[in-house]
Homo-oligomer: A and B are copies of this chain.
Amino acid sequence: MDETHQWNELAAQLGVDSIRCSTAAGSGHPTSSLSAAHLVAVLFSDHLRFDVDDPKDLGNDRFVLSKGHASPLLYSVLKAIGALSDEELMSFRRFGSPVQGHPAPVPDMPWVDVATGSLGQGLPIGLGMALAMRLDGLPGRAWVLMGDSEVIEGSVWETMANASYHQVRNLVAILDMNRLGQRGPTMLEWDGDRYAARAEAFGWRAIQIDGHDVDAIDRAYTEASDGNGPTFIVARTEKGHGVSFLANAEGWHGKSLDEEQAKQAIEELGGERSITITPPKPEHAGLPVEAATASVTLPIYEGDIATRKAFGETLAALAARPDVVVLDGEVANSTHTEDFQKAAPDRFFEMFIGEQGMLGATVGLQALGRAAFAATFGAFVTRAYDFIRMAAISRANLRLCGSHAGVSIGEDGPSQMALEDLAMMRAVHGSTVLYPADGNATAALVGQMADLGGISYLRTTREKTPKLYAADERFPIGGSKVVRTSDQDRATIVGAGVTLFEGLKAADQLAGEGVNVRVIDAYSVKPLDAATLRQALEDTGLLIVVEDHWIEGGLGDAVLEAVAARGAELSGRVIKLAVTEMPGSGKAEELRDWAGISAQKIARAVRSALAR
């Protein structure tokens, strides 16, 4: 059959090019590319509806190479569809080249939507893409090529469960079951029945094929496109297929061939070719449209409210923007994303208690132009840290919220207390970390998050806090508020969220003793308002930074960084008050006092410092 021959020829070319570019680089994963060459050849030739000249058009299908180490294969097919020149392909893994070791959506790589390379993330992302397509009423499909080692990752199974629950028909997982992982056989080797049984138990349709039989692949893809998915294609393959000394051989993971080996392998594969293909054209649907924030009326607070509740209500206001979507990890009545759900149920996604899957889906939704928020307890955001790290490499715009910050949650105890979230989120490239104290600050910051690039994180508080700011107060990202000051400030208390109120109470106490103290609300933990903090240190000689967080990596360290920034000559004193011992249960006030971050303890620290 002619088509069969063409597919096989293309697959051979992809294999050859994978070897060529990795040999030129001196590293890479040619054998992991060879196993999936037929799968990719048939997909890009006849099933993936994709316009190489308009890769961001929403009408395209999406392809996610979850086994990102098989990047030579991806770049080789991008060459075959005319996206990359051979010269660009051969720049694989070179410094400055967009043809990176693992795929990443860098500026000159518009055909890649998300970064991969941390396994088990492609399928969660694919689910988000499939959900976005459904929301847009578009006929696209999300195709995810997975390796077999990564199927152990729990994030895969969170997504398997959620995809069938959400009845996502346009998601196709293609499992490149090549039997060999990095260091030897995978857990299930070639037990396709077992993979299929697992997929079926999770509510997916499973199709088992020989992953080197292009006609079988074509039939499987056709079936997977019939709208009865989600579909899990188990493709039995050989790692290093088509090359005598590589096929199904151990010890070849992540190794490029030397020149001599490459020459022989390319000869076995029939030599170099220069086939070009054009994937099926999608119906164009245009680029994602940014919705206008102007249409949103943010809530106004006159009394006490928990910032988590203000977050939910602001989300509900943002529901007026059709691009906003919200995901939650089965705690929407705690994070208060349920307010958004009520306002826009079709744009709310219950992802149940599987934070990694939730984050991956959020990345997929934003990749297709959605302004995506995701929320859970701040303590459980830790669970998705690898996804957040990878999202930064994906240049994703993510809006995250972690509720129930610090010991201030009280009786539930340390398992539910976010005490490392600021440290974790500060160490995300290009992140914005926000920690509002009252309802109006929360509304203003969440409103801005909707339009913010990069990864932003909002830390919210469980208990109600008093109104501090007028509704028209502005809260620029990177700003701060000097909420109390005088001509004779002898110290500065820096707080955020709950500790700001403790700081104010401490300032009251101290004022009663004749000690004037400046109080600063560092609601923007990153970027931090370094100028105001440096000025405060210069003016008062003493900063007391108070946070409901471990003493490492949070607001205190951020303030020290700001003070020392650009090699500034240091002077004055900076004292960090934060949680240093493992908390238990108790009332919020008891625990804050125990931790040394209550008004009493702050005042005592100021007194003690001034007495020295």
- Structural contact, B385 and A380, CB atoms closer than 8 A: no
- Structural contact, B585 and A100, CB atoms closer than 8 A: yes
Q: Which residues of B contact A586 (CB under 8 A)?
A: 93-96
A552 and B527 alpha carbons, distance in the complex (Å): 11
Query: In the complex where A158-B154, A182-B330 touch, is A560 in contact with B553 (Cβ < 8 A)?
Result: no
Q: What's the number of copies of this chain in the assembled complex?
A: 2
Chain B's closest residue to A425 (CB) is: B552
A413 and B152 alpha carbons, distance in the complex (Å): 23
Contact of A382 with B by CB under 8 A: yes
Most chain B CB within 10 A, of A181, A186, A198, A415, is at A415
Query: In the complex where A158-B152, A201-B201, A587-B95 touch, is A386 in contact with B380 (Cβ < 8 A)?
Result: yes
A429 and B406 alpha carbons, distance in the complex (Å): 13
> Hey, what's the 0/1 contact readout for A81-102 against B, CB within 8 Å counting as 1?
0000000000001111110111
Return A432 CB to nearest CB of chain B, in Å: 12
- Structural contact, B585 and A574, CB atoms closer than 8 A: no
A353 and B117 alpha carbons, distance in the complex (Å): 13
Q: Which residues of B contact A576 (CB under 8 A)?
A: 561, 564
Contact of A5 with B by CB under 8 A: no
Contact of A116 with B by CB under 8 A: yes
Contact of A340 with B by CB under 8 A: no
Q: Which residue of B187, B415, B419 contacts A115 across the interface (Cβ within 8 Å)?
A: B415
A570 and B154 alpha carbons, distance in the complex (Å): 47
Q: Which residues of B contact A157 (CB under 8 A)?
A: 154, 156-157
A25 and B117 alpha carbons, distance in the complex (Å): 47
Q: Which residues of B contact A26 (CB under 8 A)?
A: 411
Contact of A609 with B by CB under 8 A: yes
- Structural contact, B202 and A198, CB atoms closer than 8 A: yes
Chain B's closest residue to A569 (CB) is: B573
Number of residues on chain A facing chain B (CB within 8 A): 120
Q: Which residue of B93, B411, B594 contacts A25 across the interface (Cβ within 8 Å)?
A: B411
A156 and B156 alpha carbons, distance in the complex (Å): 12
Q: Which residue of B94, B153, B331 contacts A154 across the interface (Cβ within 8 Å)?
A: B153
Contact of A149 with B by CB under 8 A: yes
Most chain B CB within 10 A, of A97, A203, A553, is at A553
- Structural contact, A102 and B582, CB atoms closer than 8 A: no
Q: Which residues of B contact A393 (CB under 8 A)?
A: 414-415, 582
Query: In the complex where A356-B154, A570-B574 touch, is A334 in contact with B182 (Cβ < 8 A)?
Result: yes
- Structural contact, B385 and A389, CB atoms closer than 8 A: no
Q: Which residue of B95, B389, B575 contacts A585 across the interface (Cβ within 8 Å)?
A: B95
Q: Which residues of B contact A612 (CB under 8 A)?
A: 567
Contact of A138 with B by CB under 8 A: no
Q: Which residues of B contact A68 (CB under 8 A)?
A: 415
Query: In the complex where A333-B182, A552-B427, A609-B567 touch, is A413 in contact with B101 (Cβ < 8 A)?
Result: yes
Q: Which residues of B contact A165 (CB under 8 A)?
A: 187
- Structural contact, A552 and B552, CB atoms closer than 8 A: no
Residues of chain A in range 179-216 having any CB-CB distance to chain B below 8 Å: 181-183, 186-187, 194, 197-198, 200-203
Q: Which residues of B contact A198 (CB under 8 A)?
A: 198, 201-202
Cβ contacts A to B, 24 pairs, < 8 Å = A93-B413, A95-B587, A95-B594, A96-B586, A97-B584, A100-B413, A106-B584, A118-B379, A118-B380, A120-B353, A149-B330, A154-B156, A154-B157, A154-B356, A187-B352, A380-B386, A427-B554, A428-B550, A429-B550, A429-B582, A564-B576, A569-B573, A570-B570, A570-B572
Binding site for B on A (CB under 8 A): 25-28, 68, 93-98, 100-102, 104, 106, 115-120, 149-150, 152-158, 161-162, 165, 181-183, 186-187, 194, 197-198, 200-203, 330-334, 338, 352-357, 379-380, 382-383, 385-386, 389-390, 392-393, 395, 411-416, 419-420, 423-424, 426-430, 526, 542, 550-554, 556-558, 560-561, 563-564, 566-576, 581-582, 584-587, 590-591, 594, 609, 612
- 19 new A-B contacts, CB < 8 A, other than A552-B557, A557-B561, A568-B573, are A95-B590, A117-B415, A118-B383, A154-B356, A183-B331, A198-B198, A355-B386, A380-B386, A389-B420, A395-B582, A419-B429, A424-B424, A426-B552, A553-B553, A556-B561, A560-B560, A563-B570, A570-B572, A570-B574
